[in-house]
Amino acid sequence: MTATTSAHPGPHGRPGEQPAAPLRAGLVGLGAMGRNHARILAALDGVEFVAAVDPAVEAAADGRPGPGGVPVLRDVGELLALGVDYAVVACPTALHEEVGLRLAEAGVCALIEKPLAHTAEAARRLAEAFEARGLVAGVGHIERFNPALQQLRARLEAGELGEVFQVVTRRQGPFPHRIADVGVVKDLATHDIDLTSWITGQGYATLSARTVSKSGRDHEDMVAVVGSLADGTMVSHLVNWLSPLKERFCAVTGERGCFVADTLTADLTFHANGAVATEWEALRAFRGVAEGDTVRYAFPKREPLAVEHERFRDAVRGAAGGIVTAREGLRTVEVSTAVLESARLMADVGGTGLPALPGTAEPDGPASGVTATVLPSGAPPAPGAHGRVAEQTT
């Protein structure tokens, strides 16, 4: 549903009537990511970028226009007084709950940067607040809008890889001084948690994690995670802020080969299993793997952030699907919390406690050596739950 205020017309049009008035949008937070949101909002069709909020920006004190050419306000209340249909929340993670709840109480939809909140409890309160009021709430898991991953998910859904054996991701690069309130797990590993569940349609069943902190901060700056999904697919994530090499890598290996996605360049490559298939029944058992053809796919590449904004705008107007919902954002925070708990205890977590995919069987129980940890349930939609990938994203 869409929230409107009495200060301006509602966002919906009817057949035969004049086009709907532009949606009025605001932005909370003008840090590095917030400025990118401002750039997109200022050019987004069907949206009027009204104002931004950031008390730390000098323009908020002297009245000069900020990024996007809009006024910079000092408080969310000033933004609400202008009458907005939705707001983008790009302030520090620790403030997401406070800002999000104010927006929900005012009847304003919200696109909240990932992670949804700093704790699973806060994320749940946010999801429930927007749901209770029938408001659209999305989470900025931008990798879902990366063209390489969209192509990968569509090909997995079409069965091009056959049985999926393993998902491996690496996300590493230099230390970002702009991040101070969360560690690498909630700031970066949440990307890999979300995209892994999204491309496979499977929730996490078990995981084991280890973290280190080398930068002298209160939070971890490197994490290694191994685990399994509900269908038995193995997963491995390496995420850090300690490498001079910037890397965004996702490989999915299955019976017919391996897909490799580079989300920095939005390239997708397929390395085929060259082992010759046979129809001879006596030889149909798995007989190994051989190098085969390599294919690099060509497809349109649009900026993921622009696509994310278009999908959220359409959702506020009433279009179904296409966004990362607050419930999905909550699930990712829950799994990231389990990662940190595993690292803290230096033990495995999982079994039936980790989020499982609706409509599928729960894991049979903890794997050998796994300590079951009860976590709130929740899971991503299966591929095709809201139509094929091409219908959700470009």
pLDDT above 50 for 7? no
Over residues 267-284, the pLDDT tens digits come to 999 999 887 455 455 555
Over residues 301-359, the pLDDT tens digits come to 999 999 999 999 999 999 988 999 999 999 999 999 999 999 999 999 986 546 554 43
pLDDT above 50 for 49? yes
Residue 363's pLDDT band (cuts 50, 70, 90): very low
Set out the domains of the chain in order of their start, with CATH numbers: 23-140 (3.40.50.720), 146-299+330-392 (3.30.360.10)
For residue 376, the model assigns a pLDDT of 36
Query: Could you say which DSSP state residue 36 is in?
Result: H
For all residues of the chain together, what is the average pLDDT? 85
pLDDT above 70 for 9? no
Q: How far apart are CA 237 and CA 163, in angstroms?
A: 20
For residue 280, the model assigns a pLDDT of 52
CA distances from 372 to 213, 255, 379 (A): 26, 30, 18
For residue 188, the model assigns a pLDDT of 96
Q: How far apart are CA 111 and CA 29, in angstroms?
A: 12
* Whether 214 contacts 167, CB under 8 Å: no
* Whether 104 contacts 96, CB under 8 Å: no
* Whether 223 contacts 209, CB under 8 Å: yes
Of 291 and 211, more confident? 211
For residue 125, the model assigns a pLDDT of 99
**Overall average pLDDT of the 195-206 stretch:** 97
Of 11 and 296, more confident? 296
Over residues 120-176, the pLDDT tens digits come to 999 999 999 999 999 999 999 999 999 999 999 999 999 999 999 999 999 999 987
Q: How far apart are CA 174 and CA 54, in angstroms?
A: 26
* Whether 295 contacts 142, CB under 8 Å: no
Q: How far apart are CA 393 and CA 391, in angstroms?
A: 6
Strands 72-73, 47-53: parallel, antiparallel or unpaired by DSSP? parallel
Residue 286's pLDDT band (cuts 50, 70, 90): low
Over residues 51-79, the pLDDT tens digits come to 999 988 775 556 667 888 999 999 999 99
For residue 76, the model assigns a pLDDT of 98
* Whether 86 contacts 114, CB under 8 Å: no
**Complete edge-to-edge strand list for the sheet that includes strand 72-73:** 72-73, 47-53, 23-28, 86-89, 109-113, 137-140
Strands 247-254, 164-172: parallel, antiparallel or unpaired by DSSP? antiparallel
Q: What is the gyration radius of the CA atoms in the chain, in angstroms?
A: 22
Three-state secondary structure string covering 99-114: HHHHHHHCCCEEEEEC
For residue 283, the model assigns a pLDDT of 52
Q: Which of 138, 150, 133, 134 is nearest to 113 (CA)?
A: 138
Q: What are phi and psi of 293, to 5 degrees?
A: -70, 150
Instruction: Count Cβ neighbours within 10 Å for each residue of 133-167 and write b for 16 or more, e otherwise.
Output: bebbbbbbbbbbbbbbbbbbbbbbbeeebeebeeb
Binning the chain into helix, strand and coil, the percentages to the nearest 5 are: 30, 25, 45
Q: How far apart are CA 75 and CA 106, in angstroms?
A: 14
For residue 215, the model assigns a pLDDT of 85
Q: State yes or no: cis peptide before 115, omega within 30 of 0.
A: yes
Over residues 89-117, the pLDDT tens digits come to 999 999 999 999 999 999 999 999 999 99
